[in-house]
Chain A
Amino acid sequence: MAEPDALIQTVHDIVQRHGGMPTRLLQILREAQDSLTWLSPETLDAVAGKLGVSPDKVRSVAEFYSFLYTAPRGSYDILFSDNITDRMLGNRELLHALCDRLGVGIGETRADGVVTVGTTSCTGMCDQGPAALVNGYALTRLDPPRLDRIVELVNGQIPLTQWPREFFEVVSNIRRADILLGRHFADGAALRAVLKRGPEAILEELVKSGLRGQGGAGFRSGAKWVSCRNAPGEVKYVVCNADEGEPGTFKDRVLMQDFADLVFEGMTLCGRVIGARQGFVYLRGEYRYLLDALKATLQRRREAGLLGAAILGDPTFNFDIDIHLGAGAYVCGEESALIESLEGKHGVPRIRPPFPTTHGYLNQPTVVNNVETFATAAKIAVEGGAWFANRGTAESKGTKLLSLSGDCKRPGIYEYPFGVTVRRVLDDCGARDAQGIQMAGPAGHMISAKQFDRRICFEDLATGGSFMVFDQSRDILDGIRNFTHFFVHESCGFCTPCRVGTSLMRDLVTKVHTGHGTRYDLEEMRKLGRIMRVACHCGLGQTAPNPVLDSLDQFPESWERRLRSTAFEPAFDLDAALEQARQLTGRSDPGAYLREEELMLGTMP
């Protein structure tokens, strides 16, 4: 650990770099951890002291985000992405192999302090998994030879900068392009359009285009911009939601990697239209690898007169963009939690109303839009609303980026006009043998083959873009169980039905999946799901039971063949009592559970 004086100096420098602003707390803690490997009580106190905020606030932020550590951590911090698509690609075998080779347990730090290995929620590399993060940087396409190399690199304590570049290569896999990805865009064109035609005319185009929020909820973007523009307030903000935490989604990553100019242009356009001078990109921590390139793009745009003061030479057009990194919290994709996080706090969703358009960042009027929404808005400003509205369906104009992963030959990004059928998508990506699709991620809906003629649009199957394919060889319940773990891990813990309900649901699903459940437990899941859907404070808890409820309807046979024959299984469960031991050893294989005969005899293996 750093010497006390060195520690104080490190913290001092970081806080200085951030202008001593409490809104930068999360960024400060991230950087302090980068230097010091973990956030010791001394570090937290130093940060609190330098920033002039109470130590408990600093601690609550440090305790909230899963990439911030308040206990010592290895110099190499390796986190395996544990989405179901990583599992389909064999990540568990790799994880166990790596732990064996390094001599460390899952979630543990090796005694010499060199390495920690654990798991994390989907890192958005589903089309090039199995994936992991090492010290926050994405590793893709893991396989046994790469693992061998990683063991050597870690044991040899080789700095990350000297690891093979290809380990960190992230490809875009754009498989189908339409009006957003396919057409050339001249940097600055949207900004010229708004200067020439005025904000009102651009707003009119946006309303006419029918563009709806591409983050998934589908709120009309034109109406959102109008209401923020009209909201009273001198200072307004533009926020780009690049948190992309929904498992199975990675289209925003591709936009930020290949189309950052277009996204920044959309934000700058929005700034001009609503009258904001400051924008923020909230970039999920998992996309840390993009940060330097994005900062360089911002700088290039400033130099080109497309960002900063007097944009395109107009002294009344001033707008700049700052990038904030998240730190492992899916709930921070929810717009009000995102704003809390931007303000340097822990990410608990606010009470709504009021909405961000009137009370957003620092309680000022704020537009929060998804990455894809901003990129599309920039195109609409240039090409016109009618051009965009030409495509799509009555209620869902234009196109949608889908992130395809799971059991298909060509995973990657597909841009389709809204209204495309599921079957068409499956054909295009080479998914021959699909039994079901998890649409829009765990928070979305699971559909079975009977529904493959349904259309992707707000009138039918709404989606933020996640599309995970399960073929006939898969056990649907493996996916469901994985999703229930995801929600337990990601619940913010603020409201009762989400904080407690997600754990209860996971336990019920595990009980049935491991062959200990009865029909009564299925009914319990339905009842619990109904409560969570209506009672939770935010969308996370409200949608958390979706995969369970959908699969009970769509795949009843998957559940039923796991049932014991009795109608009731006592709540005290000998096998469940072993759960702690399973967690400690990181085991979830069949051998870690008592078999039925053993349970009936009450004997241990």
Chain B
Amino acid sequence: MSEEQSFTLDGRRVPFQAGQTIMAAALAAGVYIPHLCFNREFAPHGSCRVCLVGVNGRMQAACTTPAAAGQTVESETGEIREIRRGILQMLFVEGNHVCPACEKSGACQLQAVAYYVGMLAPHYTHFYPRRPVDASHPEAVIDFNRCILCELCVRASRDVDGKNVFAVQGRGIEAHLVVNTPSGKLGATDFSIHDKAAQVCPTGAILTKHRGYEIPIGQRLYDRKPISVVGDVATLSESKGGRRHD
């Protein structure tokens, strides 16, 4: 066995194995780096940019950057927190996130990460896009207003469920999530709430029908402890207030 390699993250030594990213190594060592499009069960995507860290002085996405011996990684600095806050604010104004009216409030990763990075208000001017809600499926509803284009449902449906129900289409600010049927309706697909794709959404964009407000506001996943302590809603089982089916 080769000697254990390590890098430093905010002054703390983090061991890693060859081929691991900074994110994976940090997670394994119990150090939280905020993230949205990353889910340890999937290949890194690198699109949300919330996991930005300083690597030897250069900003990189922790979820896509390979760990290397002797790297100096910074995460919780004032500057990086400010950048992350800015990115979160962009996501909030790009979509329509009316948290008080959302079933996911309190157990939403987007909201929890926003609190974690100290975001108090959306700051930028809202885009107020006009996006429909799709309630055509008997078991699930998609509210495209809350989609942050992390493509986790796309990846889960394609790579785990083998159904290829979702896709992102369009370029630039026109990019949007679609359902892969001629009608564009979820009801016309073989999607099921038992699919992996139904469990990975970090926001309230994909919701299960008939199960609203089972856990009262105030007792939800992130209501008492921050996401850095509790972990991601998608990786926690339902019994623990998460979305994961065991």
Binding site for B on A (CB under 8 A): 41, 54-56, 59-60, 63-66, 329, 346, 351, 353, 488-497, 499-504, 507, 527-528, 530-531, 534-537, 571, 573, 576
Residues of chain B with a CB closer than 8 A to A493's CB:
149, 170-175
Q: Which residue of A lies closest to B165 (CB)?
A: A56
Contact A491 B49 (CB under 8 A): no
CB distance from A516 to the nearest CB of B (A): 12
Q: Which residue of A lies closest to B58 (CB)?
A: A534
Q: B64 in the interface, Cβ–Cβ < 8 Å?
A: yes
Known A488-B173, A491-B172, A527-B86; contact A503-B48, beta-carbon cutoff 8 A: no
Contact B172 A60 (CB under 8 A): no
Interface residue from B47, B168, B171 paired with A537 (Cβ < 8 Å): B47
Q: Which residue of A lies closest to B44 (CB)?
A: A351
Give a binary string over B19-56; 1 marks a CB under 8 Å from any A CB, 0 the rest: 00000000000000000000000001011111010000
Known A41-B182, A495-B47, A536-B49; contact A531-B86, beta-carbon cutoff 8 A: yes
A491 to B174, CA, bound (A): 10
Known A54-B164, A496-B87, A496-B91; contact A351-B46, beta-carbon cutoff 8 A: yes
A394 to B180, CA, bound (A): 56
Q: Which residue, A346, A502, A527, A534, has most C-beta atoms of chain B within 10 A?
A: A534
Contact A499 B175 (CB under 8 A): yes
In chain B, positions 38-82 with a C-beta closer than 8 Å to chain A are 44, 46-50, 52, 59, 61, 64, 66
Q: Which residue of B lies closest to A493 (CB)?
A: B175
Residues of chain B with a CB closer than 8 A to A489's CB:
172
Interface residue from A60, A530, A535, A571 paired with B49 (Cβ < 8 Å): A535
Known A56-B180, A496-B90; contact A502-B169, beta-carbon cutoff 8 A: no
Residues of chain B with a CB closer than 8 A to A64's CB:
169-171
Contact B124 A504 (CB under 8 A): yes
Residues of chain B with a CB closer than 8 A to A492's CB:
171-172
Residues of chain B with a CB closer than 8 A to A534's CB:
52, 59, 83
Residues of chain B with a CB closer than 8 A to A504's CB:
90, 93, 124-125
Q: What are 7 A-B pairs at a CB distance below 8 A?
A: A56-B178, A59-B169, A60-B169, A65-B171, A497-B86, A500-B94, A527-B86
A499 to B172, CA, bound (A): 5
Contact B44 A503 (CB under 8 A): no
A503 to B170, CA, bound (A): 15
Residues of chain B with a CB closer than 8 A to A494's CB:
47, 175
Contact A531 B175 (CB under 8 A): no
Residues of chain B with a CB closer than 8 A to A54's CB:
164, 180
Contact A537 B46 (CB under 8 A): yes
Closest 5 CB pairs of A and B: A493-B175, A500-B90, A534-B59, A491-B172, A56-B167
A535 to B83, CA, bound (A): 8
Contact A491 B173 (CB under 8 A): yes
Q: B127 in the interface, Cβ–Cβ < 8 Å?
A: yes
Residues of chain A with a CB closer than 8 A to B149's CB:
493, 499
A173 to B175, CA, bound (A): 40
Which applies to chain A's interface (DSSP): helix, strand, loop or mixed?
A: helix
CB distance from B188 to the nearest CB of A (A): 13
Residues of chain B with a CB closer than 8 A to A535's CB:
49, 52, 59, 83, 86-87
Contact B172 A488 (CB under 8 A): yes
Contact A351 B87 (CB under 8 A): no
Interface residue from A41, A491, A503 paired with B171 (Cβ < 8 Å): A491
A63 to B49, CA, bound (A): 24
A490 to B61, CA, bound (A): 22
Give a binary string over B130-152; 1 marks a CB under 8 Å from any A CB, 0 the rest: 00000000000000000011000
In chain B, positions 74-108 with a C-beta closer than 8 Å to chain A are 83, 86-87, 90-91, 93-94
A571 to B127, CA, bound (A): 12
Contact B169 A537 (CB under 8 A): no
Give a binary string over B179-212; 1 marks a CB under 8 Å from any A CB, 0 the rest: 0101000000000000000000000000000000
Contact A329 B171 (CB under 8 A): yes
Q: Which residue of B lies closest to A59 (CB)?
A: B169
A329 to B172, CA, bound (A): 11
CB distance from A74 to the nearest CB of B (A): 22
Contact A490 B172 (CB under 8 A): yes
Q: Which residue of B lies closest to A487 (CB)?
A: B172
Residues of chain B with a CB closer than 8 A to A495's CB:
46-49
CB distance from A573 to the nearest CB of B (A): 8
Residues of chain A with a CB closer than 8 A to B48's CB:
495-496
CB distance from B154 to the nearest CB of A (A): 10
Residues of chain B with a CB closer than 8 A to A491's CB:
171-173
Residues of chain B with a CB closer than 8 A to A60's CB:
167-169
Residues of chain A with a CB closer than 8 A to B175's CB:
493-494, 499
Q: Which residue of B lies closest to A65 (CB)?
A: B171
Q: Which residue, A488, A496, A531, has most C-beta atoms of chain B within 10 A?
A: A496
CB distance from A333 to the nearest CB of B (A): 15
Residues of chain B with a CB closer than 8 A to A63's CB:
169-171
Known A351-B64, A528-B86; contact A497-B49, beta-carbon cutoff 8 A: yes
Residues of chain A with a CB closer than 8 A to B127's CB:
503
Residues of chain A with a CB closer than 8 A to B93's CB:
500, 504
Contact B90 A497 (CB under 8 A): yes
A571 to B123, CA, bound (A): 9
Residues of chain A with a CB closer than 8 A to B87's CB:
496-497, 531, 535
Contact B180 A55 (CB under 8 A): yes
Residues of chain A with a CB closer than 8 A to B64's CB:
351
Contact A499 B173 (CB under 8 A): yes
CB distance from A440 to the nearest CB of B (A): 21
CB distance from B92 to the nearest CB of A (A): 10
Residues of chain A with a CB closer than 8 A to B174's CB:
493
CB distance from A581 to the nearest CB of B (A): 15
Q: Which residue of A lies closest to B126 (CB)?
A: A571
Residues of chain A with a CB closer than 8 A to B66's CB:
353
A117 to B18, CA, bound (A): 55
Residues of chain A with a CB closer than 8 A to B148's CB:
496
A531 to B117, CA, bound (A): 15
Known A60-B167, A576-B125; contact A501-B46, beta-carbon cutoff 8 A: no
CB distance from B183 to the nearest CB of A (A): 11
A329 to B174, CA, bound (A): 14
Residues of chain A with a CB closer than 8 A to B91's CB:
496, 500
Contact A531 B172 (CB under 8 A): no
Q: Which residue, A64, A499, A530, A576, has most C-beta atoms of chain B within 10 A?
A: A499
Q: Which residue of A lies closest to B50 (CB)?
A: A496
Contact B173 A503 (CB under 8 A): yes
Contact A537 B172 (CB under 8 A): no
Contact A496 B169 (CB under 8 A): no
Q: Which residue, A353, A495, A535, has most C-beta atoms of chain B within 10 A?
A: A535
Residues of chain A with a CB closer than 8 A to B180's CB:
54-56
Interface residue from B125, B167, B172 paired with A502 (Cβ < 8 Å): B172
CB distance from A136 to the nearest CB of B (A): 19
Contact B49 A496 (CB under 8 A): yes
CB distance from B155 to the nearest CB of A (A): 14
CB distance from A595 to the nearest CB of B (A): 21
Residues of chain A with a CB closer than 8 A to B164's CB:
54, 56
A103 to B176, CA, bound (A): 33
A492 to B171, CA, bound (A): 5
Given contacts A491-B171, A493-B172, 5 further A-B contacts (CB under 8 A): A63-B171, A64-B169, A500-B90, A507-B125, A531-B86
A530 to B85, CA, bound (A): 13
CB distance from B219 to the nearest CB of A (A): 31
Residues of chain B with a CB closer than 8 A to A490's CB:
172
Q: Which residue of B lies closest to A491 (CB)?
A: B172
Contact B169 A531 (CB under 8 A): no
Give a binary string over B208-220; 1 marks a CB under 8 Å from any A CB, 0 the rest: 0000000000000
Residues of chain A with a CB closer than 8 A to B52's CB:
534-535
